[in-house]
A = this chain, B = another copy of it.
Amino acid sequence: MLISGKEYVERLSDYEREIYVRGEKIEDFVNHPNIKPVVNSIAMTYDLAKKKEEYSPHSDLVDEKVNRLNYVNKTPQDLIARYDFQRELSMRLATCNYRCTGSDAINSLYPATKELDERLGTDYHKRFLSLLKDIQKNDYACTAALTDTKGDRAKRPKEARDMYVHVVEKKEDGIVVSGAKIHQSGAFAADVNFILPTQTFREGEEEFAIAFAVTPEDEGVKFILQNTGYQAMFREGGEFEMGNPLYGDRITCTVIFDKVFVPWERVFVFEDLKAIRNTLTNFAISHRCVGASCKAGFIDSMIGAANLMLKANGLEKVPALRQRIGEMVGVSEAAYAIAVGSAVKGRESYNTWLPNALMANAGKVVGVEGFNKVIMHLAEIAGGIPVTAPSEFDLRSPEVGKYVEKYLQANPEFSTEERMRIIKFIEFWITSSHFLGAVHGGGSPSAAIIFLQMLADLETKEDAVKDVIGLKKE
For the complex, would chain A's binding face be called helix, strand, loop or mixed by DSSP majority? helix
Residue of chain B at shortest CB distance from A423: B469
Check A153–B313 contact: CB distance below 8 A: yes
A240 to B407, CA, bound (A): 36
The segment from A20-28, A65-73, A104-112, A137-145 found at the interface with B is: A20-28
Chain B residues positioned under 8 Å from A467 (CB to CB): 92
Decide yes or no: A387 and B470 within 8 Å by CB, A361-B330, A453-B322 being known contacts. no
A247 to B183, CA, bound (A): 28
A437 to B436, CA, bound (A): 18
Chain B residues positioned under 8 Å from A387 (CB to CB): 226, 228, 252, 433, 436-437
Closest chain-B Cβ to A197's Cβ sits at a distance in Å of 16
Chain B residues positioned under 8 Å from A455 (CB to CB): 329
The segment from A5-13, A119-127, A444-452 found at the interface with B is: A444-452
Query: A403 is contacted by which of B155, B180, B322, B431 (Cβ under 8 Å)?
Result: B180
A465 to B327, CA, bound (A): 19
Q: How large is the interface on A (under 10, 10 to 19, 20 to 34, 35 or more residues)?
A: 35 or more
Check B323–A464 contact: CB distance below 8 A: no
Closest chain-B Cβ to A397's Cβ sits at a distance in Å of 3
Closest chain-B Cβ to A39's Cβ sits at a distance in Å of 16
Decide yes or no: A400 and B301 within 8 Å by CB, A387-B433, A436-B431, A468-B94 being known contacts. no
Chain B residues positioned under 8 Å from A180 (CB to CB): 403, 406-407
Check B152–A421 contact: CB distance below 8 A: no
Chain B residues positioned under 8 Å from A337 (CB to CB): 337-338, 340-342, 345, 356, 359, 362-363
A363 to B331, CA, bound (A): 10
Chain B residues positioned under 8 Å from A191 (CB to CB): none
Check B397–A20 contact: CB distance below 8 A: yes
Decide yes or no: A385 and B22 within 8 Å by CB, A152-B410, A440-B379, A465-B301 being known contacts. no
Chain B residues positioned under 8 Å from A233 (CB to CB): 228-229, 232
Decide yes or no: A400 and B153 within 8 Å by CB, A430-B435, A439-B380 being known contacts. no
A97 to B367, CA, bound (A): 31
Query: A92 is contacted by which of B227, B424, B464 (Cβ under 8 Å)?
Result: B464
Chain B residues positioned under 8 Å from A230 (CB to CB): 229
Check A329–B452 contact: CB distance below 8 A: yes
Chain B residues positioned under 8 Å from A391 (CB to CB): 22-23, 226-227
Chain B residues positioned under 8 Å from A399 (CB to CB): 20, 23-25
Chain B residues positioned under 8 Å from A246 (CB to CB): 468
Q: Within 8 Å of chain B (Cβ to Cβ): is A192?
A: no
- B-facing residues in A344-382 (Cβ within 8 Å): 344-345, 356, 358-359, 361-363, 365-366, 372, 375-376, 379-380, 382
Chain B residues positioned under 8 Å from A372 (CB to CB): 372, 376
Chain B residues positioned under 8 Å from A334 (CB to CB): 334, 338, 359, 362-363, 365-366
Check B404–A224 contact: CB distance below 8 A: yes
Q: Within 8 Å of chain B (Cβ to Cβ): is A101?
A: no
The segment from A53-61, A260-268, A273-281, A303-311 found at the interface with B is: A303-311
- B-facing residues in A151-195 (Cβ within 8 Å): 151-155, 162-163, 179-180, 182-183
Check A463–B304 contact: CB distance below 8 A: yes
Of listed A80, A345, A432, residue having the most chain B CB within 10 A: A345
- B-facing residues in A79-99 (Cβ within 8 Å): 80, 91-94
Check A365–B20 contact: CB distance below 8 A: no
A313 to B180, CA, bound (A): 17
Check A410–B153 contact: CB distance below 8 A: yes
Chain B residues positioned under 8 Å from A430 (CB to CB): 435-436
For this complex, 7 residue pairs linking A to B, each with C-beta atoms less than 8 Å apart, are A24-B393, A149-B408, A253-B388, A304-B461, A326-B454, A329-B455, A333-B452
